[in-house]
Amino acid sequence: LAAAGPTGLKERIAAELAAVRERSLAYTDADDDMLVRQHSLLMSPLVWDLAHVGNYEELWVLREVGGIEPLRPEIDHLYDAFKYPRKDRPSLPLLDPAEARKYISGVRGRVLDVLDRVDLTAPDPLRSGGYVFGLVLQHEHQHDETMLATLQLSRRPGLVRDGELPPGRPAADPEVHIPAGVFTMGTDTVAWAYDNERPAHRLYLPGYRIDRHPVTNGAYLEFVEDGGYRDPRWWLPQGWEWVERNGVEAPLFWTRDGDVWWRVRFGREEPVPPEEPVQHVSWYEADAYARWAGKRLPTEAEWEKACGGRTYPWGEADPGHHGRWANLGHRAARPAPAGAFPDGASPYGVEQLIGDVWEWTDSWFQPYPGYRCFPYEEYSKVFFGETHRVLRGGSWATHPSAVRTTFRNWDYPFRRQIFAGFRCARSEE
């Protein structure tokens, strides 16, 4: 990106801004009831996400960089993610869908003016390399993925996209050995990396084995059929309590009909495909499966080392949309079968690290040594601690510009509406 030079960079940013807005508008191309309704207590009404991405863009690009006065200061508090919990948002005096669209497009017009006149070579870290635009682009794509999760929870038909995915391949050797040694975790150089991905630091890891592919539905089903959800041996105490309290017996969106398991995907019922990576499992479920399988979840350091020290496991080339290396960007509304991307393997031969499903890791979301908060505390800093587990690698719903091998996502260990699965690891004897 930096190599594109200031003009090429501005064109690329403008194109990416247009693309992400097209995506947000597609996900909210629905009647008002669909947009203002709360489909799940876990989620905001879709119209909240829509206006929130515009408000965020206004705060960072227009006010902070452009020096422009607030357009509608009276609405800021409504779209501050820390002010009201998601479950209370439907009762707020939110902009209605038409007003929200008008507001965000008004913001966007001015953002393009700021882009036109800003100096992207200025030393200021928000301007330099277009960082502030990377911030709002990634933010909007993240909310688009959140909107997809809301739409999946609504169980209404719609967003199944039947884009073609490559066929799966069985792994001759299902585990990959990663030798003991030092590697570099995090980055100092990826232009639009978040504060939580920085700084790069050297870390020694003993040798370990990591699954070549994410755990599939077929493999996970063996755990289910083996009574995994009824046996406290496999669960951490908090996980077992979560299973019992919620009567959990399978991944979210699965139902049993006799001997056959079905799942619902954007309102469409279909048999659970055995070759596809399992998704909609909580960290507790991932952790329990791993214990049942005689393994454990990888730490995020183990996950990142398995990528081989590049921006993407296959190298530096941007995944874009052609789908040779990874399943990203909602081309198909599902993970690709295990083994679908041999060309996307890391130098160690670990596959499907990027795309398909977010992968739960064993690690709490904590700052790296030398972490410096930038540009605001509420992106990462307020979430650090022993509350959220780290997820890596992005899902089929993640846009290519919002994921890389150093990217860190996080959520509570009991959440499963996100497009999350996992792979296992083992320490070397």
Minimum distance from residue 137 beta carbon to ligand AVJ (Å): 12
Question: Hey, how many other C-beta atoms are within 10 angstroms of the C-beta on 102?
Answer: 13
Q: How far apart, in Å, do the first and last CA atoms of the chain sit? A: 43
Should residue 409 be labelled a site residue for ligand AVJ when binding is judged by CB under 6 A? yes
**Cα–Cα distance between 61 and 197 in angstroms, integer?**
22
Tell me how far, at minimum, the Cβ of 406 lies from ligand AVJ, in Å: 14
The reply to whether 142 sits near ligand AVJ by the rule CB under 6 A is yes
Q: Nearest residue to ligand AVJ, using CB?
A: 142
Supply the minimum distance, in Å, between the C-beta of residue 232 and ligand AVJ.
30
Cβ proximity to ligand AVJ: between 146 and 311 the closer is: 146
Residues between 224 and 253 that touch ligand AVJ (CB under 6 A) = none
List the one residue out of 190, 16, 225 whose CA is nearest residue 115: 16
Dihedral sign, CA of 251, 252, 257, 260?
negative
Q: Which residues have C-beta within 8 Å of that of residue 126, sequence separation ≥ 6?
A: 60, 64, 65, 132, 135, 375
In the bound state with ligand AVJ, the residue whose beta carbon lies nearer, of 350 and 357, is 357
Residue 330 labelled as part of a binding site? no
Burial class (CB in 10 A: 0-12, 13-18, 19+), 335: buried
For residue 271, list its beta bridge partners: 262
Residue 392 within binding range of ligand AVJ, rule CB under 6 A: no
Options 126-134, 136-144, 266-274, 287-295: segment touching ligand AVJ (CB under 6 A): 136-144
Task: Show the DSSP H helices in 5-85 as ranges.
Answer: 5-27, 32-36, 46-57
* Cβ distance to ligand AVJ smaller for residue 21 or 143: 143
The verdict on whether residue 416 carries a ligand-binding annotation is: no
Quote the CA–CA distance of 425 and 294 in Å, as a whole number: 9
Q: Is 48 in the site for ligand AVJ (CB under 6 A)?
A: no
Kindly tell me which residue out of 139, 198, 415, 423 binds ligand AVJ, with binding defined by CB under 6 A. 139
| Total of chain residues touching ligand AVJ, rule CB under 6 A | 8
Shortest reach from residue 405's CB to ligand AVJ, in Å: 16
Q: How far is the CB of 330 from ligand AVJ (least distance, A)?
A: 16
Sequence-ordered list of residues with C-beta below 8 angstroms from that of 421, at least 6 positions apart, any chain: 214, 215, 277, 278, 279, 281, 286, 335, 356, 357, 358, 359, 360
Which H or E element spans position 243? Answer: helix 237-246
Q: Which is nearer to ligand AVJ, 292 or 376 (CB)?
A: 376
The answer to whether 32 is a known ligand-binding residue is no
Tell whether 212 is in a known binding site: no
What is the per-residue binding string for ligand AVJ in 341-380, x denoting contact by CB under 6 A?
Answer: --------------------------------------x-
CA distance 36 to 241: 34
Which parts of 39-191 fold into alpha helices (H)? 46-57, 97-117, 131-154
Is 52 known to sit in a ligand binding site?
yes
- Segment near ligand AVJ (CB under 6 A); pick from 61-69, 98-106, 140-148, 160-168: 140-148
Residues in contact with ligand AVJ by CB under 6 A are 81, 139, 142-143, 146, 379, 409-410
Binding residues: 52, 86-89, 139, 143, 411, 415
